[in-house]
Amino acid sequence: MNIKTAHSSGFCFGVKAAVDEARRMIVHKKEGEKLIMLGELIHNDSIVGELVAGGFEIIDDANDVPDGSSVIIRAHGVSPEQKQILIEKNCKVFDRTCPFVSKIHKIVKDKAQEGYNIIITGGIGHPEVVGLCGEAPAEKVRVIESADDLKGLDIDWNNTIIVSQTTFSAEIFKDICAIVKNKIAKNLIFDTICSTTESRQKEAAAIAEGSDVMLVIGSTHSSNTRKLYDICSSRCDRTYLIDGADDLRKVLADGLIREEDKVGVTAGASTPEAIILEVVRTMNENENEVMTNQEQADINFGDYIDSIPQLRRNAVVKGVITSADNDYVYVDVRDKSEGKVPRKEFESDPEFDIDKAVADRAEITVVVKSIRNSDQGKEIILSKSQLDFEKNKKALQEAYDNKTPINAKITGVVRDGVIANYGGIDIYIHRTQLKIGEVQNLDEYKGQNIDILITKIDTEKHRLRVSGSHRAILSAERKEKAEALWNDIEEGKHYKGIVRSLPDFGAFVDIGGVDGLVHITELSWKRIKKPSDVLSVGDEIDVYVKSFDRETKKISLGYKKEEDDPYYNIEERIPVGSVVKGTVVRLTNFGAFVQLEPDLDALCHVSQISSVRLQQPSDVLKVGQEVIAKVTDIKKDERRISISIKEVEPIDPVIDEVAEEEAPAAEAEATVEAEAQEVEAPAEE
């Protein structure tokens, strides 16, 4: 029996990206967050079941999605109307529409706006087609599934374009185009069938033509899988559509595959790699039961599968972990001798529990590094890290190409940054790419898991060098938050903010993707020398919008609260005419300042201290002295309170008794002398 598996089998780019995104959403799910699939993400029950078990809920219509949910849009895409509903519901949308599908959306939208009629070749009711129809007025769109549907079509051919569902049959589309080529201008026929779909169909057709039995793996609900089945069954009478290994076992049990048959295998775009591998392995396990003359199987599946039963160098095989010692982990690879993997290769995967793997006889995929025969027997050296490296290198390349984030653990600190690890591959992150703002202490990042975008992959000189950025993700999130903030900002609105910096003139506060300024005069009701007297960088504070300018992107914020103002409600708390007690805190030539409450001082003019005239307040008062006074005036706008001590209990100076006795005698002498001078004055004349 010869078994030939199509190279282009399993997940296409768009489906894989959607599944990876959904799994990432599960890993980073926050408490109380609702995860929603807008329709089944892919046509595969096992993957959908996995995602539902992880916390996803399937909802077919955006109208039924709870407000504020996190919603993933599958590769098929949705109509603009459905997207708008999600936006209005304040949902966080993860749009994983396939780029090929997005391109068709743009074509249909642009041409519909130019007044063209639209013909879409595809399945009526298929999610991708439904989404495309939403880009144009209903009366402008026709959906056809075959060349026969063109008959009697009432349409202005001179003002019509034609596009196709990405997974539509390339053969049928070709037939349709041959009929309309004289009716529609060549530049208005858009061959939008996905190149992956077309190559998958061509390869499946070629394999089916040379096979006695053709196995098509996938769901009957999948459009592209059904088309593969149609293509293969038209070339190979014994074509079977199977969901997976269980269906294959039924085919084998019924004797539908003979020992001399050539068997071809292909799979739809929604079929996971694991299911294809299981089907191939089941074929190998049943070879001896199905045929007597075993031939070498010709199986090719990407870079991950080598189904030839005998071991050889560089072959990728699956095995079962049986035991471990200080140096090696031993793996049963269905050979007379066990293979062994250096134990240190598992160190890059801290989540891998070797003891548990031995107890559970866990299955593992490894690559054969070398096979040596000696007098002691066969020594099979296996590698896990080599395979992981290639797999993770490919994942990093895809993350770089598609600009999708990955999660990595920071394992080391270097002079100007940190080193993160992703599946055994080191990623350099410069200190400026760790956060928005200056990083003071790199050591505090060690041991943390963070999301990063891959910014550079360099394979020159046969050495892989990868750089990443966490700041790029933060900046994108900040931009998204900023757009939302500018949409609903208004004066007086309150926000929770984080203090980002403290220049001499105030504090810059991040209120959700945008920094606003709290001027130093808005930080406290009392006079302060610098903003750091009140706040520290990193503080979370309540602020409100005083004013804003959308054009200049400037926001002025308030921080101090009216109720904290010492003059708040002052007329009710200390009305004019009331008697108050206070402490002298400062003396000047014109009066004394008396503290009535913390940060609330009143002025007692020098004329209002004593019943006699004073040269200066210090004649009768000193700092720290308690006094009783009457409130005579309050000017709240001028932030001034006037009080009078003498109206309650004047404080007069103490006159020395000796000075009082000498004063009359001195006055008498002065009078006598003055009179004598007056008598003598005429005699001089």
Residues taking part in catalysis: 128
Strand 141-144 and strand 117-121: the pairing is: parallel
Distance of CA 67 to the CA centre of its chain: 19
β-partners of residue 328 are 342
Distance CA 398, CA 301 (A): 18
Distance CA 480, CA 26 (A): 21
Single-letter code of the amino acid located at 27? V
The answer to whether 354 touches 343, Cβ cutoff 8 Å, is: yes
Distance CA 585, CA 565 (A): 20
Q: How close are the terminal C-alpha atoms of the chain, in Å?
A: 161
The H-or-E segment that residue 173 falls in is helix 170-180
Distance CA 119, CA 132 (A): 11
Distance CA 190, CA 103 (A): 11
In this structure, is the dihedral angle defined by the CA atoms of residues 573, 579, 580 and 584, taken in order, positive or negative?
positive
Strand 600-605 and strand 449-458: the pairing is: unpaired
The answer to whether 627 touches 594, Cβ cutoff 8 Å, is: yes
Angle at 411 between CA 25 and CA 454, to 5 degrees: 50
Angle at 466 between CA 462 and CA 469, to 5 degrees: 170
β-partners of residue 558 are 544
Neighbours of 91 (CB within 10 A): 21
* CA-closest candidate to residue 37, choices 3, 70, 2: 70
Single-letter code of the amino acid located at 124? I
Neighbours of 606 (CB within 10 A): 21
